[in-house]
Chains A and B, each alone.
Chain A
Amino acid sequence: MMHYFIGDLGHLFVITAFISALVSAWSYWKAQRTSELDQSWVVNGRVAFYVHTFSVIAAGAVLFTIMYNHYFEYNYAYSHSDTRLPVYYLIATFWNGQEGSFWLWMFWQAVIGVVLISTQRTWEAPLMLVFALVQGFLVSMILGIVIPELNFKIGSSPFILLRDAMNDPIFKMQPDFIPKEGNGLNPLLQNYWMVIHPPTLFLGFAATIIPFAFAVAGLWQKKYTEWVKPALPWTIFAGAILGLGILMGGYWAYETLNFGGYWNWDPVENAVYVPWLILIAGIHTMMTYKANKAALRTSMILVISVFILILYSTFLTRSGILGEGSVHSFTDLGLSGQLLVYLLFFTIIPFVLLAIRWKKIPATEKELTVYSREFWIFLGAVTFSLMGAQVLVETSKPVYNAISKWFGGEGNMAPKENAVQFYSYVQLWFAVVLCFVSGTAQFFWWNKLDSKKVAKEFLTPVLFSLLIAVIIINVLKVYNISFAVLLFASSYIIYSNIKVLISLFKVNPKLSGGAVAHIGLGLMLIGALFSSGYSKVVSLNNNGLLISKELDEEFNRDNLILFVNEPRTMAEYDIEYLGERIEAKSKSGYIKKNDVELTESPFKVKAKKDIFYQGKKLFSEGEEFEYNPENTFYEIEVRKGKQVEATLFPRVQMNPNMGMVTSPDLKRDITRDIYTYVSLTMNKEEEPEWSKLEEMTIKIGQQFFVNDYVAVLKEVNRIDEIQGIQLEKEDVAVKAIVEIQGERETYIADPLFLIKDRSKVGRLPSEINDLGVRVTLMNIHPDTGEFTIGLNTRQKDWVIIKATEKPYINVLWLGTFVIMIGLSMAMVRRFREK
C-alpha cells in the first residue's frame, strides 16, 4: 500500500520551514527600521523562527519515519536504506544523501539560532536576520518545487516518490509498485563513524555562521567593535567543533576507509581544511582586538571569509564540478545554479557592506613593531591565510576549467599527479613559519619585552629546542633538511609554550588554553612528519616474477601474495595467512568459513561443528545464525619468533553496487602502526584449475601423500541417505573418510561413491579449501578389500595484501587530542568572561 500522506506531510513541513524563514527574515528586517521601543516586529521574527525550527525538526522526523518503516515507495528510503540495517545505521542513512545532509546542516543552524535568541537579546534582530536568510537558502535546497511555466526546479525534495524519481517501465504498468528491498547503505559507510562524524562536521559548518552573523550585524548596525566580545567564544566553539569533525574524518579514513592514510588532500578534505585555517586565524585576530584594539578589520574580513569558504566548499562538493577528481563528492542533483546563487549572495552583500563601512571601522594608528604581540599574531594570521590560499588555488582547478570552458577555452587542467607531495611539502614550510611565529608570539603575549630583554628571553628556548631537535634527528635518522627544520620548529613551539604554561599555572591556569593548544600543534606536526614522511611499504614482494621483460627493474612490487598456512616475512615479523573468516550478526568474534555451510536464506549459515572463538563457544553444531554475506575477513597472524604479536582481520566487502571494498586492520605498537589491507582476493566464483587426476589404490588405514600432506584412509562406510535424500533399496552409496594432516589442523575429506539403478556410477568428490586438495573415491574393489582414491590438487587459497608502516602515528593522535583540550579551555574561559 502506498503511503501518500506522510510524504505530503513532510513536504508541507519543508514548505512551512521555507516560508517561515522568509517571514522571520522580513520581520527582523522591519524590526531594524522601527524604534527600539517597538518590539512587535522582533517578536514576529522570533515566533516565525520558532515555527521554522519546529518545521525543520518535524520534516526530519517525518523523513526518519519513512526510513524507519521502510516505505520504499519513497526514493530517499529506497536509495539509501534497506530492511536489514540496524537502527543506528538507519540514522546514518538519514544523512547519507544530499538532502539529508542539508537537513542536518539547517537543523544545527536552527538550534544555534534558538540558543542565540535567548542569550543575545541585544543582537537579536540583526543576528537573526542573517540566520533566517541563510536558513531560507538552505531549505530551498530541499524544497522540491517546480515552477510550472518555466519548468524550473527549486531544490531536490527528500519526499519524492520512487516512481517520480526513476523512469522505470514497471511504473507504467503498475504505478503502485513498491520494491520489497531498498538499495541499502553504501558498505564503506557502515561504520559507527558514519553515525557521529557527519553530525559533528555539520555542527562545525553550522557554527561558522555565528561569527559571520555577528560581524555582518556589527557592520550593519555600526557597532563595529561591540560584536567581538559575544562572538569570540562562539568562534572558538566553531573552531573546536569543525576541527573535531575534520579529525574524526581523518581517523575514520585511516582506520576503516582505506584511503591509505588519515589525510589525502582530497578536494573534499581541502574544502573544509581551508575554512578551518581561516577560522583559527580569525580567533587569533579577534583575541588581539580584545587585548589591544588592533586587527579589527582583519578580523572582520577573516570571519566573513570563513563562512563564504564554507559555502564555496559546499558548492565544490555538491555541484558535481569535482567530477571524478574526488572520492567522496556527492552526485549532482542539478542544484549547481541554486548553489551558485547562494554562494554569490553571501559573498557580495557582506563585502559590499564592508566596503561601504570600511573607513568608519576603527583602526589603530600605531605602527606595528616587532616588539608587539599584535605584530606576531598578525603574522600568524597572514601565515594561516597563505596556507589556506595555497590549498585553495590548487583545489579550485576544476572551477578554472569550468570557467575557461564557459568562455570557449579548452579547460583541461588536471589535478597534480603527486598532489599529496605537492601540498604536504608547501604546507610543511608554512607550518615551520607558524611554529616560529606562534612560539615567539607567546613570549610577547605574556611579557612586555623590549630590544634589550629579547635576546635574553629567546636564547634559551632557541638553543634548547635546537638541542632537542639535533638529538631526535640523530637518534631517529631524520636526514632530510625540510623534515629536520620542521622538527626544530616543532620543538621550539612545544618548548616555548611549555615554558609559558608553567608560568601561567602559577598565576591563573584558566588562561593556559592557548599554550596547551600550541603544544598540541607541535606534537601533531611531529607525528605527521614521522607517520607520513617516513611511512613505508613493508609488504615488498621479492619473488622476482616480473610481468614483462620489457620493463626495467624500477617496476617494484609493493604487494605480497600470501598462501594459506605458508609463512612469509614482513618488516621483521613472520606473517601467515590462516584463511577466510566471517562474523555473526549477534555475537562478536571471527568464524572460519570452513566451519559453516550455506542455508537456503542468503543471510544465514549453519554451523558444521561447535564453533569457538578465543576459547569462548559461540555456536553449537547445527545451529543457524545470521551473518552479512558481503563481508569476509582474512585472518593473518603476525609473529616474532614463536610469539604471536597480533592477529589481523582486514576486511573485504563484496557489494553488488560498489564492487570490492576493503578495510584495513592495524597492528598497533606504541611507536608505530602497521597498516594492512587486502588488495586482491581469489575469485571464488571461477572454477579453479585442478591438476591432472592422480589415482592410487590403497587399503583402509594406509597412509599416502597428497600435495605433500600426510593423509590416511580412515574408514569406508555404507550410507542410506545423501544430503537428506533417502536412497532406493537397490542403490549403493559409500562414504570414505580421509584424514589429512594440515599445518595447523587435521582436515576430513568425505568423498562419496554411488551406484544407482545397478549400473550408473556417481562420484561426489570432497574438497579441502585450505589445502587446495580434492579427493574422489574412484572405485571399490570388494575382492581385495582395496579402494581407488583419485586426487587433484590446485593452487592453495591465497590473498594479496599491502602493508605500510606508519611510525609515531600515536604522537599525531596525542597532538590532535591536546589541541582539542586547549581549544575547549580557551572556549570555556571566553564564555565565562564578564
Chain B
Amino acid sequence: MKISHIIAILVIAVAIAIVISTASDTSSYVSFDQAYQMAQVDNKSSVHVVGELKKDAQGHIIGLEESVDHLAFTFLLIDENKKEQKVYYNEPMPADFTKSEKVVVIGKYKSGNFVASKILLKCPSKYQEQKLNASL
C-alpha cells in the first residue's frame, strides 16, 4: 500500500469522526415536556428551551425571585407550548433581563426543577433603535 493511500484512509476516518462528534449529543431546541422526558433517559446532556417570561394582564413580570444576597435568582418561563416552568439560575440577574422579549435557557432538569447553566436574552432593541425619539 502506498503511503498516500494510508493518508487518504486516515483523512477519511478523521472526517467521519468529525461529523459523528458534531452530530452526537447535539443539543436541540425543545419544549419543557420534551426536556423533562429527556432528563429521565439521560441526565447528562443539556437542552435549549426558548420561551417568554410570565407576565400578568398589565404586562408585569411575575414569578421573579432573587436570592437575599442577589447571587442567584429564579423565574417562570413559558415555552412555545404554553407550558410554565420555574427556572433556577445560579448567577446574578442580568441588568436587562426584565426587558427581554425572549429568553433561551440552556440547562437540564434536576430532581424536577429546571436548572439553567446559561441564559441568552433576546432584546430586539438591543442593537438597533426601532423608533426615533422625536423629542430629541
Taking CB as reference atom, which chain B residue is nearest A382?
Answer: B11
The reply to whether B134 and A177 contact each other, CB–CB distance below 8 Å, is yes
Q: Does B33 contact A (CB under 8 A)?
A: no
Residues 77 to 136 of chain B near chain A (Cβ within 8 Å): 88, 90-96, 99, 104, 106, 110-111, 113, 115, 117-118, 120, 122-123, 125-129, 131-134, 136
- The CA-CA distance from A555 to B113 in the complex, in Å, is 12
Q: Does B60 contact A (CB under 8 A)?
A: no
The reply to whether B29 and A557 contact each other, CB–CB distance below 8 Å, is no
The reply to whether B67 and A547 contact each other, CB–CB distance below 8 Å, is yes
Given the contacts A179-B136, A386-B15, A412-B28, A417 and B92 also touching, CB distance less than 8 Å: no
Taking CB as reference atom, which chain B residue is nearest A325?
Answer: B120
How many Å from the CB of B129 to the closest CB on chain A? 6
The reply to whether A680 and B92 contact each other, CB–CB distance below 8 Å, is yes
How does the 8 Å CB contact mask read for B16-52 relative to A, with 1 for contact and 0 for none?
0011011001111110000000000000011110000
The reply to whether A551 and B136 contact each other, CB–CB distance below 8 Å, is no
Q: Does A254 contact B (CB under 8 A)?
A: no
Interface residues of A, count at CB 8 A: 62
The reply to whether B18 and A393 contact each other, CB–CB distance below 8 Å, is yes
- The CA-CA distance from A162 to B136 in the complex, in Å, is 14
Chain B residues positioned under 8 Å from A545 (CB to CB): 67-69, 71
The reply to whether A180 and B27 contact each other, CB–CB distance below 8 Å, is no
Residues 537 to 568 of chain A near chain B (Cβ within 8 Å): 541, 543, 545-548, 550-552, 554-559, 561
How many Å from the CB of A818 to the closest CB on chain B? 29
The reply to whether A657 and B129 contact each other, CB–CB distance below 8 Å, is yes
- Cβ contact of A659, chosen from B30, B45, B95, cutoff 8 A: B95
The reply to whether A660 and B95 contact each other, CB–CB distance below 8 Å, is yes
The reply to whether A557 and B72 contact each other, CB–CB distance below 8 Å, is yes
The reply to whether B127 and A680 contact each other, CB–CB distance below 8 Å, is no
- Cβ contact of B28, chosen from A170, A375, A414, A422, cutoff 8 A: A414
The reply to whether B92 and A559 contact each other, CB–CB distance below 8 Å, is yes
Chain B residues positioned under 8 Å from A170 (CB to CB): 132, 134
How many Å from the CB of A178 to the closest CB on chain B? 10
How does the 8 Å CB contact mask read for A647-685 relative to B, with 1 for contact and 0 for none?
000000010011110000000000000000001110000
Chain A residues positioned under 8 Å from B2 (CB to CB): 367-368
How many Å from the CB of B39 to the closest CB on chain A? 14
Taking CB as reference atom, which chain A residue is nearest B48?
Answer: A414
Chain B residues positioned under 8 Å from A547 (CB to CB): 65, 67, 71-74, 88, 90
Given the contacts A162-B132, A368-B3, A800 and B22 also touching, CB distance less than 8 Å: no
Interface residues of B, count at CB 8 A: 60
Q: Does A168 contact B (CB under 8 A)?
A: yes
The reply to whether B72 and A393 contact each other, CB–CB distance below 8 Å, is no
The reply to whether A389 and B48 contact each other, CB–CB distance below 8 Å, is no
Most buried by B among A416, A558, A798: A416
Chain B residues positioned under 8 Å from A552 (CB to CB): 110-111
Given the contacts A557-B71, A657-B125, A659-B123, A417 and B118 also touching, CB distance less than 8 Å: yes
The reply to whether B88 and A548 contact each other, CB–CB distance below 8 Å, is yes
The reply to whether A659 and B136 contact each other, CB–CB distance below 8 Å, is no
Most buried by B among A426, A543, A659, A681: A659
How many Å from the CB of A43 to the closest CB on chain B? 46
Q: Does B9 contact A (CB under 8 A)?
A: no
- Cβ contact of A379, chosen from B7, B15, B126, cutoff 8 A: B7
- Cβ contact of B70, chosen from A324, A370, A800, cutoff 8 A: A800
How many Å from the CB of A433 to the closest CB on chain B? 10
Given the contacts A379-B7, A547-B74, A331 and B27 also touching, CB distance less than 8 Å: no
Taking CB as reference atom, which chain A residue is nearest B131?
Answer: A168
Q: Does B14 contact A (CB under 8 A)?
A: yes
Q: Does B4 contact A (CB under 8 A)?
A: yes
How many Å from the CB of B112 to the closest CB on chain A? 8
- The CA-CA distance from A331 to B28 in the complex, in Å, is 24
- The CA-CA distance from A181 to B113 in the complex, in Å, is 48
The reply to whether B96 and A555 contact each other, CB–CB distance below 8 Å, is no
- Cβ contact of A413, chosen from B26, B90, B120, cutoff 8 A: B26
Residues 383 to 434 of chain A near chain B (Cβ within 8 Å): 386, 389-390, 393-394, 397, 412-418, 422, 426
Q: A414-B27, A658-B96, A680-B70 are in contact. List 13 more A-B contacts (CB 8 A).
A: A379-B7, A382-B11, A386-B11, A390-B18, A390-B22, A412-B29, A416-B25, A547-B73, A547-B90, A659-B95, A660-B94, A679-B91, A798-B70
18 residue pairs A–B, Cβ–Cβ below 8 Å: A168-B132, A179-B134, A331-B128, A367-B2, A393-B18, A397-B26, A412-B28, A412-B29, A414-B48, A416-B25, A417-B27, A417-B45, A547-B90, A551-B113, A556-B90, A659-B123, A660-B95, A680-B95
